[in-house]
Amino acid sequence: MMNTTSAIPIDGAMETPWTLPYRGTVGMACLIVAEAAIFIIFIVAYIYYIGKSLSGPTPAQVLEMPIFGTICLLSSSITVHFAVSALRKQNLRTCTIHLAGTVLLGSIFLITTAQEWYHLIHTEGLTIRTNLFGTTYYSLVGLHASHVVVGLIMLSLTLCFALMGRVTEEHSEKLEVLSLYWHFVDGVWVVVFLVVYVLGR
Amino acid sequence: MTTTPVIEAIDETAASHGRPPLNVVYEWLTTVDHKKIGLMYIVYALIFLVIAGFQAILMRIQLAVPNNHFVSPQVFNQLFTMHGTTMVFFVGMPILFGFGNYLIPLMIGARDMAFPRLNAFSFWISAFAGVLLYFSYVGGSGLYAAGSAPDVGWFAYAPLTAKVFSPGHSTDYWTLAVFLSGVGSIGTALNIVTTILSMRCKGMTMGRMPLLVWLYLVMASLVFVTVSPLTAAQIMLTLDRYLGAHFFDTQAGGSAVLWMHFFWIFGHPEVYVLVLPAFAFVNEIVPVFSRKAIFGYAAMVAASVGIGFISLSVWAHHMFTVGLGPAGNTFFVFATMVISVPTGIKIFNWLATIWGGKVIFAVPMMFCIAFIFQFLVAGLTGIMLSAAPFDWQLGNSYFVVAHFHYVLVGAILFALFAAFYYWYPKVTGRMMSEKLGKWHFWLFVIGFHLTFDFMHIPGLLGMPRRIYTYEAGREWETLNLIVGIGAIIQTIATLIFVYNLVRSYFQGEVAGHDPWDAWTLEWATPSPPPSYNFAVDPTVNSRRPLWDLKHPEDSDTGYE
């Protein structure tokens, strides 16, 4: 054992309250900034290559607005918000129902994306190799979809814990951190939707 | 007059000698302690520093005389690629993260980083990335072949990186290693920002944080917006190489210039990611050895934040020779020149801190003074290169190589050496030898100036970078020989430094808590600090808590 003494400045008299931001929220905010930078690069590449493909098919020929999937994904932001506020009010049952709703809506979005890709690949013959549109479309939408998958895995885990009765009011801060991520994924979709399906067509 | 109350704490840390070596190894491999992870970062970076330094020596031997056949052109391409990639991603970033990891919690009175396990993850993923990069020497062209290292240059311009022009897997090792190191960097940066914002001890308001902590906050925030674009670009490059995507495929309408933009959106702010911690060390060391508080604390913070923002709008000065058009040129020339204003503010503040102080010329201070001078020179050649017409003439010449090595070696490495001499007693409990330190300093200064002062001239005489040899009679020979001799002297100096590091660990003078009579919180802990840092959570009332402790009759509280 190594024993030494140290003199540490303390101040018992200081009574001013000392509160710092919750580290989970700060950490998630940092992650969101970093992820946003990644998405911006992919979006810049998408916009830069609009109309630069040397061969077809073009977005106008093959893309359809995924209205239903978009409504589902954006609604899931509302349900996850209700899940957090229910947990804060110690209303575990409502929280579980809203979590389940979020997972369901997120999954429906993924299914609509999968159907869209299936259609594009099998009917239209558009793959990531076909042209610049295929390259940028699949990578941007795929990058977003992979974030949806990660979010869904974490939400499903939370749902499992909630069903097992392991989620309590003290976890509301942590659930809020997760909901921040989910809101971010939804927000990115708004941008991707505007760029790919509105601007790009 | 207020007296700061103190608590006398008895610190106990289990000693590691006398225990089975396997247990000690296991403890280091599984540790989540910020100090151990910081040290592992530093040691790992030092190993890569030796490797990449060795590559530099091989290149200088090759270029020392004209028409040399010491290494083949292929090997030379691999050497400069590996040297650059290693120095930036596996020496610069990890060593600075290592110091940050070690010092930030101690300086803000915290017991660990905000996310200790994420910290360990980030370190190990970065370490794996470095090993992966060097595994390319064995497995580069596929496991059945002899192997070859990446040879596309550290900025790996398209379309050279396309599968057609770089077959085999050597480029993939580069891409994956850089990608993984990026993941590790983002993880550590996230940890640093969160630690600084959420883990400060009582009384440590943002305005009372040591400047080192402020600069690391700016640096880590920059990492999010600079390393992420590179990570995105590496994903695109991998898609191009493996799934046949066309991001940078000029045959299918893709753009090689887009890669340049994506790379330099990372590449230039990265310079500031590397240099801000160097400023941070100097900000801590110069006041202590001038026996004065730092001049212009608020101006320093403002300048650092300013550098962070402006650095995001200067990247295309690496691309003047591509042809950006008059509007693009004007904007990037202007933005690049503007960034010299906040850096100039910093230099004046350091000079004003030294001015009128009782300067102690210990080794850390000597390195800091050399840093200030050399950083100024590096900044001046930077302003020269920021003028687009000048850059058209000298872009991709040895003048550019000399300029950025002046920043990376003359500024960053010198500040790092200062940091080593300054914090070594805290980390090990022993002082580094002053005598060996002075030998190290003077030899390194001489070697540095021989190499990098003279390297500017072949650039002015038209010698391009990255050529593996040159003909005699172009007046480059003598200059290149001098550059090579300087490199050898720097190597000797570095060996003395490494010897000093090892020797002092066993035979150095015992340091005590606070050998430099310094003022920040890390010096309140024993050397080395116990695993929990502070037995009780400290409270601070000013920027220099230990000054208040030592001088209750004249505490800082009244002046801030």
The 10s digit of each residue's pLDDT in B353-384 is 999 999 999 999 999 999 999 999 999 999 99
In this structure, the number of other CB atoms found within 10 A of the CB of residue A35 comes to 21
Task: Tell me whether residues A37 and B225 touch, CB distance under 8 A.
Answer: yes
Is pLDDT above 70 for B145? no
CB contact under 8 A, A11 and B535: no
The pLDDT of residue B14: 61
pTM of this prediction exceeds 0.80: yes
Distance CA B230, CA A81 (A): 33
Those of residues 326-355 in B touching chain A at CB distance below 8 A are none
Q: Which of residues 504-523 of B touch A (CB under 8 A)?
A: 513, 521
Question: What integer pLDDT is reported at residue B552 of this predicted model?
Answer: 83
Q: What is the mean pLDDT of residues B261-271?
A: 95
CA–CA–CA angle B299, B305, B310 (5° rounding): 115
What is the pLDDT, as a whole number, of residue B19? Answer: 81
Whether B4 has a pLDDT exceeding 70, the answer reads: no
pLDDT at B17: 64
The Cα–Cα gap between B399 and A137 comes to 42
Closest by Cα among B201, B204, B181 to B122: B181
Whether B484 is in a domain gets the answer yes
Residue B6: is its pLDDT beyond 80?
Answer: no
Report the first-to-last Cα separation within chain B, whole angstroms: 14
Q: Does B18 touch chain A (CB under 8 A)?
A: no
Residue B19 lies in a domain: no
* Other CB atoms within 10 Å distance of the CB of residue A103: 20
- Whether residue B384 lies inside any domain: the answer is yes
Q: What is the pLDDT of residues A139-160, one digit of tens each?
A: 999 999 999 999 999 999 999 9
Question: Helix/strand/coil (H, E, C) string of B232-285?
Answer: HHHHHHHHHHHHCCCCCCHHHCCCHHHHHHHHHHHHHHHHHHHHHHHHHHHHHH
Task: Count up the domains in chain B and report the number.
Answer: 1
pLDDT at residue A122 tops 60: yes
**All structural domains of chain A:** 23-50+68-199 (1.20.120.80)
Q: What is the CA radius of gyration of chain B?
A: 24
A131 touches chain B (CB under 8 A): yes
Q: Where are any strands of DSSP class E within chain A?
A: 2-9
Q: Residue A2 pLDDT > 60, yes or no?
A: no
Least confident of A115-129, B12-26, B454-468, B473-487: B12-26
Mean pLDDT of B209-223: 97
Are B398 and B455 in contact, with CB atoms under 8 Å apart? Answer: yes
* pLDDT tens-place string over residues B412-448: 999 999 999 999 999 999 999 999 999 999 999 999 9
The answer to whether the CB atoms of B227 and A34 lie below 8 A apart is yes
Please, which pLDDT band fits residue B557 given cuts at 50, 70 and 90? confident
The residues with which A6 forms a beta bridge, in sequence order, are B9
**Residue B435 or B3, more confident:** B435
The predicted structure's pLDDT at residue A56: 83
Angle at B467 between CA B83 and CA B143, to 5 degrees: 50
Nearest Cα to B2, choosing from A17, A5, A9? A9
Is the confidence at residue B5, as pLDDT, over 90?
Answer: no
What CATH number is associated with residue B498?
1.20.210.10
- Is B140 a member of any domain? yes
Residue at B219 is within a domain: yes
A contacts of B235 (beta carbons < 8 Å) = 38, 139, 143
pLDDT at B82 > cutoff 70: yes
Position B14 in a domain: no
B418 touches chain A (CB under 8 A): no
At B306 the pLDDT is: 96
* Confidence tier at B156 by pLDDT (50, 70, 90): very high
Q: Is the pLDDT of residue B346 over 80?
A: yes
Distance from CA of A174 to the nearest CA of B (A): 14
Nearest-angstrom CA–CA distance, B175 and B152: 11
Q: Which residue of A has its CA nearest to B12?
A: A3
Distance between CA atoms of A24 and A26, rounded to whole angstroms? 6
Residue A15: what pLDDT?
A: 63
CB pairs under 8 A between A and B: 177
In A, minimum Cα distance to B255 occurs at: A49
Whether B238 contacts chain A with CB within 8 A: no
Asked if A199 is an interface residue toward chain B (Cβ–Cβ < 8 A), one would say no
Q: What is the pLDDT of residue B7?
A: 75
Q: What is the pLDDT of residues B42-77, one digit of tens each?
A: 999 999 999 999 999 999 999 999 999 999 999 999
Give B 244-273 residues with CB within 8 A of chain A. 244-247, 252-255, 258, 262, 265
> DSSP characters for A37-92?
HHHHHHHHHHHHTTT--SSS--HHHH----HHHHHHHHHHHHHHHHHHHHHHTT-H
Residue B130 lies inside a defined structural domain of this protein: yes
Residue A179: Cβ within 10 Å count:
25
User: CB–CB of B245 and A135 under 8 A?
Assistant: yes
pLDDT of residue A7: 78
Name which residue leads in pLDDT, B302 or B559.
B302
Residues 68-127 of A with CB under 8 A from B: none
B115 shares contact with chain A (CB less than 8 Å): yes
In this predicted model, what pLDDT tens digit does every residue of A176-189 receive, in sequence order? 999 999 999 999 99
* pLDDT of the residue at B551: 87
> Which pLDDT tens digit goes with each residue over B451-496?
999 999 999 999 999 999 999 999 999 999 999 999 999 999 999 9
Name residue A154's beta-bridge partners. Answer: none
**B229–A40 CB contact, under 8 Å:** yes
| DSSP letters spanning B14-25 | --STTS-HHHHH
Please give the residue range of the domain that contains residue B292: 29-555
Quick: pLDDT tens for A12-37.
666 678 899 999 999 999 999 999 99
- For the cut 60, the answer to whether the pLDDT of residue A3 exceeds it is no
Residues listed for chain A = 201
- CB-nearest to B5 from A4, A11, A128 is A11
ipTM given for this complex = 0.94
Q: Does residue B125 fall inside a structural domain?
A: yes
Q: Does B540 touch chain A (CB under 8 A)?
A: yes
Write down how long chain B is. Answer: 560
Report whether pLDDT(B315) > 60: yes
Helices (H), B411-476: 414-428, 434-460
Dihedral sign of CA atoms B322, B328, B329, B334 in order: negative
Q: Does A6 touch chain B (CB under 8 A)?
A: yes
Mean pLDDT of chain A: 93
* For residue B1, pLDDT beyond 50: no
How high is the mean pLDDT of chain B? 93
